[in-house]
Amino acid sequence: AVNGSRLWQSLMDMAQIGATPKGGVCRLALTDLDKQGRDLFVRWCEEAGCTVSVDRMGNIFARRPGRDDSLPPVIMGSHLDSQPTGGKYDGVYGVLAGLEVVRSLNDMNYVTEAPVEVAVWTNEEGSRFAPAMVSSGVFAGVFDLDYGLSRADLDGKTMGEELARIGYAGDREVGGRKVGAYFEAHIEQGPILEIEGKTIGVVTDCQGQRWYEITFTGQEAHAGPTPMVRRKDALLGAARVVDAVNRIGMKYGPLACATVGLMQIHPNSRNVIPGRVFFTVDFRHPDDGILAAMDGELRAEVERIAGGIGLETDFQQIWYYAPIKFDESCVAAVRKGVERTGHSFRDIVSGAGHDACYLSKVAPTAMVFIPCIDGISHNEVEETTPEWSTAGCEVLLHAVLDRANA
Protein backbone atom coordinates (compact mmCIF):
# COMPACT_ATOMS: atom_id res chain seq x y z
CA ALA A 1 0.00 0.00 0.00
CA VAL A 2 1.15 3.52 -0.81
CA ASN A 3 0.19 6.81 0.83
CA GLY A 4 -1.90 8.41 -1.92
CA SER A 5 -2.56 11.65 -0.08
CA ARG A 6 1.16 12.16 0.60
CA LEU A 7 1.83 11.64 -3.12
CA TRP A 8 -0.94 14.12 -4.04
CA GLN A 9 0.40 16.68 -1.57
CA SER A 10 3.89 16.36 -3.07
CA LEU A 11 2.41 16.89 -6.56
CA MET A 12 0.69 20.05 -5.34
CA ASP A 13 3.84 21.29 -3.59
CA MET A 14 5.98 20.78 -6.69
CA ALA A 15 3.32 22.55 -8.79
CA GLN A 16 3.90 25.74 -6.79
CA ILE A 17 7.26 26.10 -8.52
CA GLY A 18 6.51 27.88 -11.78
CA ALA A 19 2.75 27.95 -11.11
CA THR A 20 0.79 29.85 -13.78
CA PRO A 21 -2.44 31.82 -13.31
CA LYS A 22 -4.51 29.20 -15.14
CA GLY A 23 -3.48 26.40 -12.75
CA GLY A 24 -0.61 25.06 -14.81
CA VAL A 25 3.16 25.16 -14.64
CA CYS A 26 5.91 26.90 -16.60
CA ARG A 27 9.16 25.25 -15.59
CA LEU A 28 11.25 25.09 -18.73
CA ALA A 29 14.35 22.90 -18.69
CA LEU A 30 17.42 24.37 -16.95
CA THR A 31 15.80 27.65 -15.94
CA ASP A 32 15.97 28.99 -12.39
CA LEU A 33 12.56 27.42 -11.76
CA ASP A 34 13.78 24.03 -12.97
CA LYS A 35 16.64 24.36 -10.47
CA GLN A 36 14.12 25.09 -7.69
CA GLY A 37 12.11 21.99 -8.63
CA ARG A 38 15.27 19.85 -8.68
CA ASP A 39 16.39 21.23 -5.31
CA LEU A 40 13.03 20.38 -3.75
CA PHE A 41 13.16 16.84 -5.18
CA VAL A 42 16.72 16.34 -3.91
CA ARG A 43 15.74 17.53 -0.42
CA TRP A 44 12.76 15.16 -0.33
CA CYS A 45 14.97 12.25 -1.44
CA GLU A 46 17.59 13.00 1.19
CA GLU A 47 14.88 13.21 3.83
CA ALA A 48 13.78 9.75 2.63
CA GLY A 49 17.29 8.46 3.27
CA CYS A 50 18.38 8.23 -0.36
CA THR A 51 21.85 8.94 -1.70
CA VAL A 52 21.64 11.50 -4.51
CA SER A 53 24.01 11.74 -7.47
CA VAL A 54 23.96 13.84 -10.64
CA ASP A 55 25.51 12.95 -14.00
CA ARG A 56 27.08 15.23 -16.62
CA MET A 57 23.71 15.65 -18.39
CA GLY A 58 22.14 16.78 -15.11
CA ASN A 59 20.17 13.54 -14.72
CA ILE A 60 19.51 13.02 -10.99
CA PHE A 61 19.50 9.58 -9.32
CA ALA A 62 18.22 9.06 -5.75
CA ARG A 63 19.22 5.61 -4.54
CA ARG A 64 17.67 3.42 -1.86
CA PRO A 65 20.05 0.52 -1.13
CA GLY A 66 19.06 -3.09 -1.71
CA ARG A 67 19.91 -6.12 0.42
CA ASP A 68 22.48 -6.98 -2.23
CA ASP A 69 23.61 -3.54 -3.25
CA SER A 70 25.83 -4.91 -6.00
CA LEU A 71 22.76 -5.92 -8.04
CA PRO A 72 21.77 -3.58 -10.89
CA PRO A 73 19.14 -1.13 -9.64
CA VAL A 74 15.50 -1.02 -10.59
CA ILE A 75 14.95 2.59 -11.67
CA MET A 76 11.70 4.51 -11.62
CA GLY A 77 11.56 8.00 -13.05
CA SER A 78 10.46 10.66 -15.48
CA HIS A 79 11.08 14.44 -15.69
CA LEU A 80 10.44 17.70 -13.84
CA ASP A 81 10.71 20.13 -16.78
CA SER A 82 7.49 21.39 -18.37
CA GLN A 83 6.11 23.02 -21.48
CA PRO A 84 5.79 26.86 -21.48
CA THR A 85 2.11 26.43 -20.59
CA GLY A 86 2.29 22.92 -19.18
CA GLY A 87 0.39 20.99 -16.55
CA LYS A 88 1.10 19.83 -12.99
CA TYR A 89 1.42 16.09 -13.76
CA ASP A 90 3.27 15.57 -17.07
CA GLY A 91 6.56 13.98 -15.95
CA VAL A 92 6.26 15.12 -12.34
CA TYR A 93 3.81 12.31 -11.66
CA GLY A 94 6.33 9.61 -12.64
CA VAL A 95 9.07 11.20 -10.54
CA LEU A 96 6.94 11.67 -7.43
CA ALA A 97 5.20 8.30 -7.78
CA GLY A 98 8.75 6.86 -7.71
CA LEU A 99 9.52 8.89 -4.59
CA GLU A 100 6.25 7.68 -3.02
CA VAL A 101 7.28 4.07 -3.69
CA VAL A 102 10.52 4.77 -1.80
CA ARG A 103 8.66 6.48 1.05
CA SER A 104 6.20 3.57 1.26
CA LEU A 105 9.04 1.03 1.37
CA ASN A 106 10.54 3.10 4.20
CA ASP A 107 7.18 3.11 6.05
CA MET A 108 7.11 -0.69 5.81
CA ASN A 109 10.82 -1.04 6.63
CA TYR A 110 10.89 -3.14 3.50
CA VAL A 111 14.30 -4.06 2.09
CA THR A 112 14.33 -4.97 -1.60
CA GLU A 113 16.88 -7.43 -2.93
CA ALA A 114 18.23 -5.01 -5.56
CA PRO A 115 18.64 -1.30 -4.94
CA VAL A 116 15.85 0.99 -6.13
CA GLU A 117 16.45 4.42 -7.69
CA VAL A 118 14.30 7.39 -8.60
CA ALA A 119 15.56 9.24 -11.69
CA VAL A 120 14.90 12.75 -13.01
CA TRP A 121 15.86 13.06 -16.69
CA THR A 122 16.95 16.48 -17.99
CA ASN A 123 14.94 18.24 -20.73
CA GLU A 124 12.45 15.54 -21.56
CA GLU A 125 9.96 17.99 -23.07
CA GLY A 126 12.08 19.13 -25.96
CA SER A 127 10.44 22.53 -25.75
CA ARG A 128 13.33 24.78 -24.68
CA PHE A 129 15.97 22.49 -26.22
CA ALA A 130 15.22 20.09 -29.10
CA PRO A 131 14.96 17.18 -29.37
CA ALA A 132 12.92 15.75 -26.51
CA MET A 133 14.27 13.04 -24.16
CA VAL A 134 17.79 14.14 -24.98
CA SER A 135 19.41 13.25 -21.65
CA SER A 136 17.85 9.82 -21.30
CA GLY A 137 19.02 9.43 -24.90
CA VAL A 138 22.61 10.17 -23.86
CA PHE A 139 22.20 7.77 -20.91
CA ALA A 140 21.11 5.08 -23.36
CA GLY A 141 23.98 5.76 -25.77
CA VAL A 142 21.62 6.93 -28.53
CA PHE A 143 23.27 10.39 -28.47
CA ASP A 144 26.82 11.14 -27.44
CA LEU A 145 27.60 13.52 -24.61
CA ASP A 146 28.84 16.35 -26.83
CA TYR A 147 25.60 16.26 -28.79
CA GLY A 148 23.60 16.45 -25.57
CA LEU A 149 25.58 19.30 -24.02
CA SER A 150 25.56 21.34 -27.23
CA ARG A 151 21.75 21.40 -27.73
CA ALA A 152 20.88 25.12 -27.88
CA ASP A 153 17.68 27.04 -27.21
CA LEU A 154 16.35 29.66 -29.64
CA ASP A 155 18.59 32.28 -28.00
CA GLY A 156 21.67 30.13 -28.57
CA LYS A 157 22.23 29.08 -24.94
CA THR A 158 23.42 25.48 -24.71
CA MET A 159 22.37 22.78 -22.27
CA GLY A 160 26.00 22.54 -21.10
CA GLU A 161 26.12 26.26 -20.23
CA GLU A 162 22.75 26.20 -18.54
CA LEU A 163 23.51 23.05 -16.52
CA ALA A 164 26.63 24.77 -15.19
CA ARG A 165 24.73 27.97 -14.49
CA ILE A 166 22.08 26.29 -12.31
CA GLY A 167 24.60 23.98 -10.60
CA TYR A 168 23.41 20.70 -12.09
CA ALA A 169 26.38 19.81 -14.29
CA GLY A 170 27.18 16.70 -12.24
CA ASP A 171 30.39 14.72 -12.46
CA ARG A 172 28.95 11.26 -12.80
CA GLU A 173 29.41 9.48 -16.13
CA VAL A 174 26.20 9.43 -18.17
CA GLY A 175 24.90 5.85 -18.44
CA GLY A 176 27.39 3.05 -18.95
CA ARG A 177 26.00 1.02 -16.09
CA LYS A 178 23.70 -1.95 -15.86
CA VAL A 179 20.04 -1.24 -15.05
CA GLY A 180 17.92 -4.13 -13.74
CA ALA A 181 14.67 -2.66 -15.00
CA TYR A 182 13.11 0.74 -15.70
CA PHE A 183 9.50 1.66 -14.90
CA GLU A 184 7.92 5.00 -15.72
CA ALA A 185 4.49 6.07 -14.50
CA HIS A 186 2.85 8.87 -16.48
CA ILE A 187 -0.49 10.45 -17.24
CA GLU A 188 -1.83 9.17 -20.56
CA GLN A 189 -1.97 12.63 -22.17
CA GLY A 190 -4.67 11.28 -24.49
CA PRO A 191 -8.38 10.46 -24.12
CA ILE A 192 -8.54 6.66 -24.41
CA LEU A 193 -8.50 5.46 -20.78
CA GLU A 194 -11.06 8.01 -19.66
CA ILE A 195 -13.38 7.31 -22.61
CA GLU A 196 -13.25 3.56 -21.86
CA GLY A 197 -13.53 4.01 -18.10
CA LYS A 198 -10.21 2.25 -17.32
CA THR A 199 -7.95 3.30 -14.45
CA ILE A 200 -4.64 1.85 -15.66
CA GLY A 201 -2.98 1.73 -19.07
CA VAL A 202 -0.47 -1.09 -19.47
CA VAL A 203 1.81 0.50 -22.05
CA THR A 204 3.06 -2.07 -24.55
CA ASP A 205 4.43 0.22 -27.30
CA CYS A 206 5.34 3.82 -28.10
CA GLN A 207 4.74 5.28 -31.52
CA GLY A 208 7.72 6.49 -33.54
CA GLN A 209 8.52 10.14 -34.15
CA ARG A 210 10.14 12.36 -36.74
CA TRP A 211 10.88 16.00 -36.05
CA TYR A 212 11.84 18.53 -38.72
CA GLU A 213 13.16 22.08 -38.88
CA ILE A 214 12.34 24.01 -42.03
CA THR A 215 13.47 27.49 -43.04
CA PHE A 216 11.93 29.21 -46.05
CA THR A 217 13.73 32.25 -47.40
CA GLY A 218 11.97 34.58 -49.82
CA GLN A 219 12.37 38.33 -50.11
CA GLU A 220 11.29 41.05 -47.70
CA ALA A 221 9.39 43.75 -49.52
CA HIS A 222 6.79 46.42 -48.95
CA ALA A 223 3.24 45.13 -48.52
CA GLY A 224 1.84 48.10 -50.43
CA PRO A 225 3.64 48.73 -53.70
CA THR A 226 4.87 45.16 -54.34
CA PRO A 227 2.58 43.44 -56.88
CA MET A 228 1.33 39.98 -55.83
CA VAL A 229 3.06 38.31 -58.76
CA ARG A 230 6.50 39.72 -57.84
CA ARG A 231 6.40 38.44 -54.25
CA LYS A 232 8.43 35.73 -52.58
CA ASP A 233 6.40 35.45 -49.39
CA ALA A 234 8.04 33.03 -46.96
CA LEU A 235 4.97 33.00 -44.69
CA LEU A 236 2.69 32.03 -47.57
CA GLY A 237 4.95 29.02 -48.16
CA ALA A 238 5.01 28.09 -44.48
CA ALA A 239 1.23 28.43 -44.25
CA ARG A 240 0.77 26.05 -47.15
CA VAL A 241 3.07 23.54 -45.46
CA VAL A 242 1.01 23.81 -42.25
CA ASP A 243 -2.06 22.88 -44.27
CA ALA A 244 -0.17 20.05 -46.02
CA VAL A 245 1.06 18.67 -42.69
CA ASN A 246 -2.54 18.55 -41.50
CA ARG A 247 -3.61 16.82 -44.72
CA ILE A 248 -0.89 14.18 -44.27
CA GLY A 249 -1.97 13.60 -40.66
CA MET A 250 -5.59 13.17 -41.71
CA LYS A 251 -4.69 10.91 -44.63
CA TYR A 252 -2.79 8.42 -42.46
CA GLY A 253 -5.33 8.70 -39.61
CA PRO A 254 -6.75 7.73 -37.23
CA LEU A 255 -3.37 6.77 -35.73
CA ALA A 256 -1.15 9.39 -37.42
CA CYS A 257 -0.37 12.70 -35.73
CA ALA A 258 1.09 15.67 -37.60
CA THR A 259 1.71 19.07 -36.05
CA VAL A 260 3.38 22.41 -36.68
CA GLY A 261 3.85 23.76 -33.14
CA LEU A 262 6.52 26.43 -33.55
CA MET A 263 6.96 29.19 -36.12
CA GLN A 264 9.13 32.32 -36.19
CA ILE A 265 8.40 34.99 -38.79
CA HIS A 266 11.01 37.51 -39.92
CA PRO A 267 10.88 40.50 -39.68
CA ASN A 268 7.31 40.08 -38.34
CA SER A 269 6.03 43.54 -39.24
CA ARG A 270 2.48 44.19 -40.43
CA ASN A 271 3.40 45.91 -43.68
CA VAL A 272 6.43 43.83 -44.69
CA ILE A 273 6.13 40.69 -46.81
CA PRO A 274 7.88 38.08 -44.62
CA GLY A 275 11.34 37.32 -45.94
CA ARG A 276 12.15 34.33 -43.76
CA VAL A 277 10.13 31.83 -41.74
CA PHE A 278 11.49 29.08 -39.48
CA PHE A 279 9.08 26.35 -38.40
CA THR A 280 8.99 22.81 -37.10
CA VAL A 281 7.05 19.67 -37.99
CA ASP A 282 6.25 16.80 -35.60
CA PHE A 283 5.14 13.48 -37.16
CA ARG A 284 4.12 10.36 -35.23
CA HIS A 285 2.86 6.92 -36.07
CA PRO A 286 2.98 3.50 -34.39
CA ASP A 287 3.96 1.90 -37.75
CA ASP A 288 7.44 2.78 -38.97
CA GLY A 289 6.53 2.19 -42.61
CA ILE A 290 3.70 4.67 -42.44
CA LEU A 291 5.95 7.16 -40.65
CA ALA A 292 8.35 6.82 -43.60
CA ALA A 293 5.51 7.39 -46.07
CA MET A 294 4.53 10.56 -44.18
CA ASP A 295 8.15 11.68 -44.39
CA GLY A 296 8.15 11.16 -48.16
CA GLU A 297 4.97 13.16 -48.59
CA LEU A 298 6.29 16.02 -46.48
CA ARG A 299 9.47 16.27 -48.53
CA ALA A 300 7.48 16.30 -51.77
CA GLU A 301 5.02 18.91 -50.49
CA VAL A 302 7.76 21.22 -49.20
CA GLU A 303 9.56 21.05 -52.53
CA ARG A 304 6.37 21.66 -54.52
CA ILE A 305 5.22 24.55 -52.33
CA ALA A 306 8.61 26.30 -52.17
CA GLY A 307 9.18 25.81 -55.90
CA GLY A 308 5.76 27.25 -56.70
CA ILE A 309 6.57 30.64 -55.20
CA GLY A 310 10.34 30.82 -55.55
CA LEU A 311 11.42 30.20 -51.97
CA GLU A 312 14.77 28.81 -50.90
CA THR A 313 14.45 25.89 -48.54
CA ASP A 314 16.53 24.56 -45.71
CA PHE A 315 14.99 21.23 -44.67
CA GLN A 316 16.37 19.16 -41.80
CA GLN A 317 15.04 16.05 -40.13
CA ILE A 318 16.47 16.69 -36.67
CA TRP A 319 15.08 13.69 -34.80
CA TYR A 320 13.80 10.24 -35.53
CA TYR A 321 13.13 7.12 -33.57
CA ALA A 322 11.26 4.06 -34.72
CA PRO A 323 8.22 2.77 -32.82
CA ILE A 324 9.24 0.98 -29.62
CA LYS A 325 8.07 -2.31 -28.08
CA PHE A 326 8.54 -2.54 -24.33
CA ASP A 327 10.05 -5.58 -22.60
CA GLU A 328 7.57 -8.44 -22.24
CA SER A 329 8.61 -9.42 -18.74
CA CYS A 330 8.41 -5.81 -17.50
CA VAL A 331 5.00 -5.39 -19.17
CA ALA A 332 3.98 -8.63 -17.45
CA ALA A 333 5.18 -7.22 -14.12
CA VAL A 334 2.93 -4.18 -14.64
CA ARG A 335 0.01 -6.42 -15.61
CA LYS A 336 0.57 -8.53 -12.49
CA GLY A 337 0.57 -5.35 -10.42
CA VAL A 338 -2.78 -4.40 -11.95
CA GLU A 339 -4.22 -7.82 -11.12
CA ARG A 340 -3.00 -7.67 -7.51
CA THR A 341 -4.47 -4.20 -6.96
CA GLY A 342 -7.69 -5.00 -8.82
CA HIS A 343 -7.84 -1.80 -10.93
CA SER A 344 -9.54 -1.81 -14.32
CA PHE A 345 -7.04 -1.63 -17.18
CA ARG A 346 -6.33 -1.95 -20.88
CA ASP A 347 -3.19 -2.33 -22.96
CA ILE A 348 -2.27 0.92 -24.65
CA VAL A 349 0.20 2.43 -27.12
CA SER A 350 1.81 5.67 -25.96
CA GLY A 351 1.22 8.62 -28.25
CA ALA A 352 3.85 10.72 -26.51
CA GLY A 353 7.56 10.06 -26.34
CA HIS A 354 8.96 9.24 -22.90
CA ASP A 355 12.36 8.72 -21.34
CA ALA A 356 11.27 5.08 -21.16
CA CYS A 357 11.61 4.93 -24.95
CA TYR A 358 15.35 5.47 -24.72
CA LEU A 359 15.80 3.51 -21.47
CA SER A 360 14.29 0.53 -23.30
CA LYS A 361 17.45 0.46 -25.46
CA VAL A 362 19.61 -0.44 -22.42
CA ALA A 363 17.24 -1.92 -19.85
CA PRO A 364 14.09 -4.04 -19.65
CA THR A 365 11.45 -1.31 -19.56
CA ALA A 366 7.71 -0.76 -19.20
CA MET A 367 5.27 2.04 -18.36
CA VAL A 368 2.13 2.60 -16.31
CA PHE A 369 -0.45 5.12 -17.53
CA ILE A 370 -3.22 6.76 -15.57
CA PRO A 371 -6.02 8.80 -17.18
CA CYS A 372 -6.07 12.57 -17.44
CA ILE A 373 -9.28 14.58 -17.71
CA ASP A 374 -10.52 14.99 -21.31
CA GLY A 375 -7.18 13.63 -22.49
CA ILE A 376 -5.72 17.14 -22.24
CA SER A 377 -1.98 17.61 -21.67
CA HIS A 378 0.61 20.22 -22.67
CA ASN A 379 -1.99 22.65 -21.38
CA GLU A 380 -2.34 24.51 -18.09
CA VAL A 381 -5.69 22.84 -17.44
CA GLU A 382 -4.14 19.33 -17.49
CA GLU A 383 -5.81 17.39 -14.62
CA THR A 384 -6.03 13.92 -13.10
CA THR A 385 -7.61 12.67 -9.83
CA PRO A 386 -6.09 11.63 -6.50
CA GLU A 387 -7.70 8.18 -6.96
CA TRP A 388 -6.07 7.58 -10.34
CA SER A 389 -2.79 8.94 -9.02
CA THR A 390 -2.85 6.53 -6.09
CA ALA A 391 -3.83 3.60 -8.31
CA GLY A 392 -0.92 4.16 -10.69
CA CYS A 393 1.52 4.38 -7.80
CA GLU A 394 0.21 1.11 -6.34
CA VAL A 395 0.77 -0.63 -9.67
CA LEU A 396 4.24 0.91 -9.91
CA LEU A 397 5.11 -0.37 -6.42
CA HIS A 398 4.07 -3.92 -7.30
CA ALA A 399 5.92 -3.90 -10.61
CA VAL A 400 9.08 -2.59 -8.94
CA LEU A 401 8.92 -5.17 -6.15
CA ASP A 402 8.40 -7.91 -8.73
CA ARG A 403 11.67 -6.95 -10.44
CA ALA A 404 13.72 -5.77 -7.47
CA ASN A 405 13.13 -9.07 -5.70
CA ALA A 406 13.48 -11.26 -8.78
Ligand X SMILES: NC(=O)NCCC(=O)O
Q: Does 136 bind its own copies (CB under 8 A)?
A: no
Among the residue ranges 40-48, 219-227, 257-265, 287-295, the one whose residues contact ligand X (CB under 6 A): 219-227
Q: Is 330 helix (H, G, I), strand (E, B) or coil?
A: helix
How far is the first Cα of the chain from the last one, in angstroms, to the nearest whole number?
20
Q: Does 353 bind its own copies (CB under 8 A)?
A: yes
| Closer residue to ligand X in complex, CB, 338/352 | 352
**What is the rounded distance in angstroms from the CA atom of residue 334 to the CA atom of residue 331?**
5
95, 135 contact by CB (below 8 A): no
| Closer residue to ligand X in complex, CB, 12/223 | 223
- Using alpha carbons only, give the angle 117, 377, 317 rounded to the nearest 5 degrees: 85
Kindly write out the interface string for residues 216-255 of this chain, putting x where it contacts its own copies by CB under 8 A and - elsewhere: ---xxxxxxxxxxxx--x-xx-xxx-xx--x--xx--xx-
Q: Does 371 bind its own copies (CB under 8 A)?
A: no
Query: Could you tell me how many residues of this chain bind ligand X (CB under 6 A)?
Result: 13
Instruction: Read off the amino acid at residue 302.
Output: V
Query: Could you tell me how many residues of this chain bind its own copies (CB under 8 A)?
Result: 73
Q: Does 354 bind ligand X (CB under 6 A)?
A: yes
DSSP assignment of 260-297 equals: ---EEEES--TTEE--EEEEEEEEEESSHHHHHHHHHH
CA dihedral 334, 335, 336, 340 (to 10 degrees): 100
| Closer residue to its own copies in complex, CB, 225/289 | 225
CA dihedral 155, 161, 166, 172 (to 10 degrees): 140
Q: Does 84 bind its own copies (CB under 8 A)?
A: yes
Q: Is 318 helix (H, G, I), strand (E, B) or coil?
A: strand
Q: Does 256 bind ligand X (CB under 6 A)?
A: no
Among the residue ranges 320-328, 349-357, 360-368, 379-387, the one whose residues contact ligand X (CB under 6 A): 349-357
From 323, 353, 371, 392, residue interacting with ligand X (rule: CB under 6 A)? 353
Q: Does 90 bind ligand X (CB under 6 A)?
A: yes
Residue 273 contact among ligand X, its own copies, none, beta carbon within 5 to 8 Å by kind: its own copies
Q: How far is the CB of 131 from its own copies (least distance, A)?
A: 9
Q: Is 24 helix (H, G, I), strand (E, B) or coil?
A: coil
390, 321 contact by CB (below 8 A): no
Nearby residues of 221 by Cβ (< 8 Å), 6 or more positions away = 230, 231, 272, 273, 275
Q: How far is the CB of 395 from ligand X (least distance, A)?
A: 18
Q: Does 57 bind ligand X (CB under 6 A)?
A: no
Where residue 324 falls (left for φ over 0; alpha for ψ -120 to 50; beta otherwise) is: beta
From 7, 14, 99, 132, residue interacting with ligand X (rule: CB under 6 A)? 132
Residue 22 contact among its own copies, ligand X, none, beta carbon within 5 to 8 Å by kind: none
From 58, 73, 115, 126, residue interacting with ligand X (rule: CB under 6 A)? 126
Please report, as ranges, the residues that interact with ligand X according to CB under 6 A: 90, 124-126, 132, 189, 222-224, 271, 352-354
